[in-house]
Structure 1
Amino acid sequence: MAPQSLRPWLLALLLGTPALAFKRPANSSWNKPGPLSSYQLTGPSSRAADDKCPPCFNCQLPAFACGQYGDCNPYDGQCKCPPGWGGIDCLIPQCDSLADGEQRRLREDGQSCECKEGWGGINCNVCETNQACAAFPLAGMPEGDDDINPEDMLCHKNGETVFNNHQICNVTNRKIIDQVGSDRAVQVTFSCDKPNEECSFQFWVAEVESFYCALDHCSSSTTPQYDTNVTTYACDNMKCSCIANRFICGEDGSVNIDDFLKEEIRGPAKFTCKSGVCRFEEPAMNELISDIFGDPYITLDCGGGECLHYSQVPGYQQPPKPDNTKWLALSAAGAGLLVIATSAILWYAGRASGGEFGQIRLPDDEQARLMNDHVPATLHFSNLSYTLGSRVLLDNISGTIKPGQVCAIMGASGAGKSTFLDILARKAKRGQVSGVTYVNGREVRNEEFKAVTGFVDQEDTLMSTLTVYETVLYSALLRLPRDMSLEAKKFRTLETLNELGILGIKDSRIGASGQRSISGGEKRRVSIACELVTSPSILFLDEPTSGLDAYNAHNVVESLVSLAKDYNRTVIFTIHQPRSNIVALFDQLILLASGKLVYSGEFSKCHAYFAQIGEPCPPGFNIADFLIDMTVQAGMDGHNSTEDSPTLQPATPIDDVTNLRDEERGLGRSVPLSVRSGSSPSPDHEETELQTRPNSIASASGKYIKRKTSQLLEAVSLSSSKKAVNAPISPKLAALVEAYAESSIARQIREEAEALRRANGDAGQATTELPDVAVETRLLRGRKRARYGTQFRILSGRAFKNLYRDPALLMAHYISSIALALICGLFFHNITNDISGFQNRLGLFFFTLALFGFSCLSSLGLFANERILFIRERANGYYSTFTYFSSKVLFDILPLRVVPPIMFGGIVYGLVGLVPTVVSFWKFMLILVLFNLTTAMVVLFLSIAIASTSVAGLAGTLVMLFNLMFTGLLINRDSVPAAFRWLHTVSFFHAAFEALAVNELRYLHLTETKYGVELDVPAAVILSTFGLHAQSFWWPNTALLGIFFAVLTAASFLTLQFFVKEKR
């Protein structure tokens, strides 16, 4: 403080009036008053100031004192200030640098010091760089020793004091900062003189010193720990003094704690630091901080330095490994309990969703309400055509099916039945569809149309691990109205099973190919039940009797007729060669031949119609067989050979196994060989053959072979030509098509279509009195499908059942994780802290990542096996893509990708002897789980994006190998050209490997003895040599793994949503 600033204080002192201070009240009755409550604030005396000039500064006089408890010269009464302080009373900070000694400049009032390069702190006492210490007078060495190389000087920042250490700290107590104000920095400077066992402490606000303390009989100690050191300064005695008119020392008439500091602060005091986080403790000061601010002590964030010769730097003392066996055992046990708890939760969820179903109590009239809560739908289609490339596969198909009617689509193989049904059901097709479809006289959008329709595909796609009952029940739970009770849905499921004759096998599993399971016909009926259970307004079925015997085929069709008649549904299906008792159940018939419409109308009128056009059905002949034979022979008529053409077989009805979907691949319709002539060989020809055969066997055999070869060449040539162009139909078939087009039946359908077209008008507003499907669907069904949460719960239960009922993959992962963890524990047991131990650690991490990376390729089959099932169920409105994907990730990916690394890590960590701290253990677990999840999502993305499992497997292997190359162990990052170093960044193997290495080796010191010399090397140095960064655990590595997982999850979902679609 300048002499001028001392005058008011000195004048008050001379007049006997103390400055603003705390004074203990005389009438206090407290036994042990608090630090502030035992003092009362008094103001300056009213005595007039003496105009006499004060005496000169003399620290020998009681009125004067040396700040910072500097030494007072007994001869001249001047102060000898400690380093960093100047002025007559040692209260003015010095600037420049500590190396400048007594040549330092005093700080100007109201200004901050500008320190020389490499120095910092309020009074420039703290070294920051080694270069700053080049000119520093070396402590502990004889003065004038010029043999010291400046490059050998170091700024020792490890916190431990060797000779004289200076630290600058920021106070971090929140309440103190709030009280002072965030715009005024609250700081502390702390320095120690180890040879003299003395320390000093200064408290600053906005770089203005408030009070200072001196500590003596001090000792310092450093406690090496496994990850960092703890430095402690302990002093027996402590004394403090305020600087008048400073913060909390009487500034502007405010609180003055000078008496408190002088009378209460005695010591002992302790200053403790760990990794720059420090705290200062003294009993009375702790009580003051606690009473006023609520903290137990002053908390600090410190940085310091001391200039030393490199030979004076204390040697590193290898800390013993802490014995955390108990905590590691508890952590491993906790990981095991986590696995068990997760498995129990998943098991319970699986049982809760499928359920053990007891007695069903159906509420009154609920079943009838379900069956009547629908939209009766009349389906009218006009001039439906389908073109694939240059080939016309369907040509102008028209017809009408009303509620309560069953419509059969018939025709020979390759006639276009399945393709027409797909178009009628509005399935996505690869070709061009034209024509118009009306529902109740109105054109409706696809979403509205599919809301009231059901579709049973020709091929069964069922989940092999579920029972028959569960399969149908899941369809009911997902698709029936949400306000329908669970009991009613169960009852409807059982009723449907009973209608189809499969109630007796309801508890049998579907089974997979090559395994013991239900029969093919039973699987067919289960597929039908999944659609029939929802009682749709319009039900489409592709070959519902395929694979069934005659009795069960009749039962299936009869149940469809019952659904149509009793509940006013519209049922449309394709069928191939039905029995006569099945044919008798038809209401409507659509007969196709080579994509042309031969008949569309009421089945009861077809006998009379075909008799009228000259194609009567013979008495006692199955009308269905007759119609198919007629259309086949009509299609072959144009390709009959000459009368004397040789034949391979007599003319019989042809059952060509090639359907129209083969035509879509370019095979065309059935190609008749010349040998398939409708005419039989003449009797004369047969007699001639019989007469000449005994005498010319060899000749006849040669002619027979030549004849077959010629016929096959003719067929191949004809088939090849039909791939490029549309061959004209035979005259007989053309006559059948033309006859129907000119019939009164077709004319009536055309008139209905024209009336509907006029009724809809240009604006599409129909005037029909039939209910509007779009409106009724929204009212009755649109808001009643299962909610997303219900979908997720049901799909999760189904996914988990599928997982634990086929436990081979699950058990393989768990057993291999345990076995390989034990093997790693055997070979890497009690790993050492030397160079070979460093190598073994990196090898263990590399092997672990390779193990889990390639084991994740097993995820390829998780979606690939259900691709067709997902496509068809989503197309039929079972659920949304999001709920399916979420349940798939949660109940398939997590049990296989979270549990195994936890099992592996819990075993291998303790056996190998990795860093024995609980925090490091859970970091290790975190990285393993994140890596496994990321890798699983890579594989899942590939399995979704690539339909071929073999191609996806190859792509997955290449991705793993490519990422493995850039792990960080095989190729040093620093040796990779700068333009390609981003490959390390995008490698999830590298992120996990570097994170594991940093977690294990960051604070490890390696000790290696070679040729009798013990080398002590920080593992972080070797990490940097490998191109790994010791500060990169959380960022970027752990963060990158999380980002990779999130991005790949989103990419998998978007691919599933927008690119995995049904194309027929």
Structure 2
Amino acid sequence: MSNATSMTLYEPCPPGLGGSDCAQATCASPFTAPASRPASATACSTCDSGFRGLNCNVCSGRGSCAAIQTQKGVQMGTGASTLTCDTQPDSAAVGVKYGECKVSSPTFSALFAGDMRLTMTKVAPSGAGEMGALGLGTWPAQAGTTLTQLWLDGIEQFYCQASGCVNSNVTESVASTAKFGTSDWACSNLQCHCISSSKICSPDAPFGIGKIIAGQNGSLSMPCDYADPNDENATTQCAFKSQVITSTLGEGGLSLTECSFGSCLSQQSIQNAWYDAAQADPAKSGGVNLSGGVIGGLAVLGVFLAGIAAFVVYGIMARRRAAARLRKPRPEAFGLRWDSLHFQLPNGSALQRFTGVGAAVVRKRKAYDEEHEMSQIARDKGRRSGHILRGVSGEAPPGGLTAIMGASGAGKTTLVEILSGKNKRGTATGGLAYVSGDGTVLPSAPPSDCRVLCFVDQEDHLPPHSTVREALSFAAELANPENVTAAERAQIVDDTIATLGLGAVAGALIGDRKRRGLSGGEKRRVSIGIAAVARPSILVLDEPLSGLDSLAAMQVMQALRAMASGPRSGTTVIMTLHQPSFEIFEMPNKIMVMAHGETVFDAAPFTALTWCRRRNANISMGQNVADVLIKICSEGAPSTGSASNSISETQQATGVASSVEGSEKDEWRQRVGTAPDVKTPGSPGAYAVNMPIVGPRGPLVASHGATPTTLATQMRALVARQVKTAKRDPTGPLAHILGSVAIGLFVGGAFFQIDLTIAGFQNRIGSLFFVYILMTFASLSATVGIDRARPLMERERAAGHYHSMAWLATYLAYDLLLLRAIPAVLLATIVYWMVGLHPSAQNFFQYLLVSVVYAAVAGVFSALLGVIAADLSVAVLLAGLNILFNIAFGGFLLSLDHLPSVLRWIRWLCPLKYALEAVGSNELVGLELVDNLAGVPIRTPVSLFAGGLFGFQDGSYYRDLLVLALPFLVGFIVLLALATQTLMRERC
């Protein structure tokens, strides 16, 4: 044995091999020198007492070595202790270990009938050691080498040699019934050589197996389970694993059963080996061996938990700092003044074209004088060019209630939206200014902890599963800064409920179309209350009475009158009215009537009667003055550039009415009741403008849209509301969970306990594909869910209650946990064990991890489609196309490796491809195909043809999991955050 890696390892022949080419078994025992052992043509019929095997190498029984020593009078070296037979497969305690196993391979047995055995000789890394000292026959054994021979009916067929061998204990056993651990003998530089005259290696052997055997190289792994230490004759199981063997027969390699090992060594060397192993083996010394994937997963989980902990700590500290800030008391009421406001739609917009056509129809009349005809033509031309507001000026006095009236299309909504700083599509120009009670123009809003301005839209978007008090408390917590205590916020909510007359329904759910709750008037007052709890200085409302009956409308107006309680402590209220009753028309402190984007009337309500009569209007008894006023203004609105003349007439009418001492004014005053005496503005346009409007966004967006609370407070409030919603409306989570259980039972029953045949393998992959397609379909609920949550989110975000990222984090936590992760775990678990997939805890949890990650990827992407396509029908269509894309390029229906080159790159964009490949490769590890083709038993690893059939790559689990988690899941979350920040905002 001159070179461990050459073809001449058997020069001279090692123990157990003899003849001219070392291809025959030798008898006797290892105590006889190899060259002196008699050779046998087939196998030894007799061995020395206490030894067994084809070539009599394996000792049998712990006393066999001592017995032959006495029998033959073997002389031991100085210092050698009592001999014993070591029957375990490892060679750590002895220089040379002999073993013999029965080859158990259905494929080999079907091709080559007979008794097939494998003999082996292991030389420890420390060398032959004390062979000569123990009286054993010496031979030039090289340290860390392995010699194996395969025999068929006692005739050697081929042999293999390997060097660089080391022994280690492993956790994965060969047999599932192993109880005592497993030892792995791993080598490098494997070489195998065929004996051409043998049956297996002859040129006539089927499948050219001789060439396959001769082509083996690379590394060798020979794991063996430890035998029962209490049974001297116990056998165990091993495996012979090389690259060629595992690719041909599967990950389990060549199965070896009825393995027996035995080598003679001193008792002292066994004790020393046990002590050294106890000191070096991490499993015995309390250490833990973890795979790289497990370590990486634990590291990611640790970073994630550390990030959450850091965010919680930072949030607590930020809240404490915000709560400790000095309080800024609310100043006296201040008003809002606007001058020469113009607003024009973008050129060519559909709204512009519609507005021009509609205005042309509304303003059509039978006869005009020439001057009025020309002015009307000028206005029509302006409307068709997209001019919605044209030089509108006015003022809302501090602490007063100002109502803006006009026919449909007059520009009321556009005006209040510009005053409130809404994000409008178009160009606005002009000036805005805050004014104090004495008419002084303020350089900016007085600093305070209260909101400057709040806006209430004419459509109610309220949390349907919250009570009235909970909705107001939510708004009060997020609309007021952190330095407002919980007790103060509760008092604000109580006062608002009392002011709005909501005491009787404070504990009632708001409701929606599915669950009946509040009435229309009550919902409108709740919407006003949500804005009022922010204690704004200016409250702007668009059509707050729209759709309400007379009683509900009166209740809303009374609540607004109570809020506008004067210039000292009241809120400046600006509202639009469409068609008020006479009683409601009397209640505002000031009425402003618009027509065709211009101001026509701007004065106190009681001046309207005089103003109309000056226009020769015939007002009959019982006729509503508001209707006459709107009609006159709509039909006789001044042309562009004459707004100041109309306002001057209004002021003259105001002066005339103020000088009247008759019963008409007294009666009007009595009807006005407790309306505060506010200053009627003088001629607008004569004051300085300190807040210019340039571009499509108004100047007050920051004033009423900034979030006064910290991100931690916003998320805490959102989580609390989401938890209550989930408890009160568990329909969504229950539907997903029960649906997953039902579908899992159906799929598990359809693919129940699949076998390992060719058809069973296809069904096995089909069950995995079916599960992930179901998860993809279930993700459609994310598209619908985010569309349903969108209106409320946009309204609350525009009101400055929270940042879009706080809402998105809360929404994703709810959706990914209750609607994606839990249903995915239930579905995957039921299908996994009913189908009979890989019965290993590691494989199961790896499969479960991919399932949860893929369900999250599908859900986040569907939500992203719902955000990008604001139209639900378009979003669902896109989600359906995404499902078809995943079905086509997932790797089950189409062979991805055989796609046309122009389309082959598309598969890398398909998340289902990575998920199916990950769980497929995870399932196929160690899976062998057991079938019968033309009477020949087949036992081969499915990885041989799975790659070509489905495009799966071996060892791709962690790569695919990483791709799903980072480019897809994290990438989609980032895109969803950007889309939410950019697209989920109010636009008008």
Q: Structure 1-normalised TM-score?
A: 0.58
Partner of 1:1014: 937
> Within 5 Å, which residues of 2 pair with 1:694-705?
none
Between the two proteins, the alignment pairs up a number of residues equal to 698
> After superposition, where does 1:20-59 map in structure 2 within 5 Å?
none
Quote the residue 2:595 is aligned against: 593
Task: Determine the structure 2 residue equivalent to 1:267.
Answer: 270
Give the superposition deviation at 1:752: 6.8
Q: State yes or no: 1:82 paired with 2:138.
A: no
1:949 to 860, 872, 891: 872
Give the Cα–Cα distance (whole angstroms) in 2 for the partners of residues 495 and 129 of structure 1.
Answer: 86
**Aligned letter for 1:155?**
Q
Deviations 1:643-701 (A, max 9, x none): xxxxxxxxxxxxxxxxxxxxxxxxxxxxxxxxxxxxxxxxxxxxxxxxxxxxxxxxxxx
Residue 870 (structure 1) shift:
1.6
Deviations 1:873-902 (A, max 9, x none): 111111100011111111133201111111
* Structure 2 counterpart of 1:243: none
- 1:423-453 per-residue CA deviation (whole Å, 9 max, x = no partner) reads 1111111121110101243566999999411
Query: Hey, what does 1:379 align to over in structure 2?
Result: 336
Match of 1:934 in 2: 857
Contact conserved, 2:186 with 2:222, CA < 8 A, in 1? no
The answer to whether the 8 Å contact 1:521/1:546 transfers is no
Aligned twin of 1:1047: 971
Give the match for residue 539 of structure 2.
539
In structure 1, what is the Cα distance between the partners aligned to 2:212 and 2:428? 86
Q: What is the CA–CA distance in structure 2 between the aligned matches of 1:829 and 1:456, rounded to whole Å?
A: 58
Distance in 2 separating the partners of 1:151 and 1:928: 39
What pairs with 1:483-498 in structure 2 (closer than 5 Å)? 483-498=483-498
Aligned to 1:575: 577
From 381, 400, 409, the counterpart of 2:404 = 409
Identity %: 27
Q: Distance in 1 between matches of 2:515 and 2:446?
A: 39
Q: Closer, same or farther in 2 for the Cα pair 1:151/1:888, shift >3 Å?
A: closer
Distance in 2 of aligned mates of 1:594 and 1:841: 71
Distance 2:409 2:446 in 1: 27
**Corresponding residue SS for 2:540:** strand
- Greater shift, 492-501 or 603-612, is seen at 603-612
Q: For 1:571-970, what aligned pairs fall within 5 Å after superposition? A: 571-603=573-605, 622-634=624-636, 729=639, 736=646, 739=649, 753-757=685-689, 785-970=708-893
1:333-366 CA distance string (max 9 Å, x none): xxxxxxxxxxxxxxxxxxxxxxxxxxxxxxxxx9
| C-alpha separation in 2, matches of 1:285 and 1:502 | 82
Match of 1:435 among 422, 430, 434: 430
Q: Distance in 1 between matches of 2:487 and 2:644?
A: 56
Matched, 1:422 2:422: no
Contact 1:933 1:1045 in 2 (8 A): yes
Counterpart-to-counterpart distance in 1, 2:653 and 2:416: 24
Query: What corresponds to 2:900 in structure 1?
Result: 977
Name the CA distance, whole Å, in 2 between partners of 1:435 and 1:448. 27
- Whole-angstrom distance in 1 between the partners of 2:747 and 2:447: 56
- How far apart are the structure 1 equivalents of 2:873 and 2:705? 40
Residues 408 and 590 in structure 1, CA contact (< 8 A), matched pair in contact too: yes
User: Alignment partner of 1:860: what SS?
Assistant: helix
C-alpha distance in structure 2 between counterparts of 1:156 and 1:1006, whole Å: 24
Correspondence 1:282 to 2:262: no
Partner residue in 2 for 1:222:
238
> Is the Cα contact below 8 Å between 1:426 and 1:446 reproduced in 2?
no
Distance in 2, Cα, partners of 1:734 & 1:448:
36
Q: Partners of 2:743 and 2:130 in 1: how far apart? A: 68
What corresponds to 1:348 in structure 2?
A: none
Change (3 A) 1:891 1:139: same
Report what 1:455 is aligned to.
455
SS class of match (2:593)? strand
Give the alignment partner of residue 1033 of structure 1, picking from 942, 957, 966. 957
The whole-number CA distance in structure 1 between the counterparts of 2:828 and 2:900 is 35
Contact 1:930 1:1042 in 2 (8 A): no
CA distance in 1, matches of 2:279, 2:882: 63
Residues 1:788 and 1:126: Cα distance change in structure 2 (over 3 Å): closer
CA–CA separation in structure 1 for the residues paired with 2:592 and 2:986: 26
Q: 1:837 to 1:1042 in 2, by over 3 A?
A: farther
Answering whether residue 144 of structure 2 is matched by residue 153 of structure 1, we say no
- Residue pair 2:279, 2:285 contacting (<8 A) in 1 also: no
C-alpha distance in structure 1 between counterparts of 2:288 and 2:804, whole Å: 54
Taking a change above 3 Å as real, the CA distance of residues 391 and 1012 of structure 1, as seen in their structure-2 partners, is closer
Q: Does the CA contact (< 8 Å) of 1:931 and 1:992 recur in 2? A: yes
Cα RMSD after superposing both structures? 4.8
* Pair 1:934–1:266, CA change in 2 (3 A): same
TM-score norm. by structure 2 comes to 0.62
Measure how far apart 1:523 and its partner are. Answer: 1.7
**1:778-811: CA deviations, max 9, x gaps?**
9xx9999332112112112323333443333332
Give the residue type in structure 1 aligned to 2:270: G
Residues in 2 aligned to 1:729 and 1:794: alpha-carbon distance in whole angstroms: 52
Task: Find the aligned partners of 2:443 and 2:564 in 1 and give their Cα distance.
Answer: 23
- For residues 934-991 of structure 1, what are the alpha-carbon distances to aligned partners after superposition, in whole Å with 9 as ceiling and x for unaligned? 0001100000000111111111011111111111111112212344333222211111
What amino acid does structure 2 have at the position aligned with 1:1032? S
Given that 1:829 and 1:912 are in contact with CA atoms closer than 8 Å, whether structure 2 keeps it comes out as: yes
The amino acid that maps onto 2:458 is Q
How far apart, CA to CA, are the structure 1 residues paired with 2:716 and 2:887? 38
- Structure 1 partner of 2:506: 506
Per the alignment, residue 473 of structure 1 pairs with 473
Give the whole-Å Cα distance in 2 for the aligned partners of 1:480 and 1:539. Answer: 15
Residue 284 and residue 545 in structure 1: after superposition, are their counterparts in 2 closer, same or farther (change >3 A)?
A: closer
Q: Give the drift of 1:1046.
A: 0.8
Contact conserved, 2:756 with 2:928, CA < 8 A, in 1?
yes
SS at match of 1:586: coil
Q: Where does the alignment leave 5 or more consecutive residues of structure 1 unmatched? A: 1-22, 24-65, 73-78, 86-92, 100-117, 166-216, 240-263, 269-280, 302-365, 636-727, 763-772
Q: Is the 8 A contact 2:479 2:800 kept in 1?
A: yes
1:46 equivalent in structure 2: none
Contact 1:898–1:933 (Cα < 8 Å) also in 2:
yes
Distance across 1 between alignment mates of 2:548 and 2:626:
18
Deviation per CA, 1:843-884: give whole Å up to 9, x if none.
Answer: 111111111111111221111112222222111111100011
Q: Which moved more, 1:824-833 or 1:846-855?
A: 824-833
Post-superposition Cα deviations, 1:531-554, rounded to whole Å, max 9, x if no partner, equal 122221000011122233333323
1:461 shift after superposition: 1.3
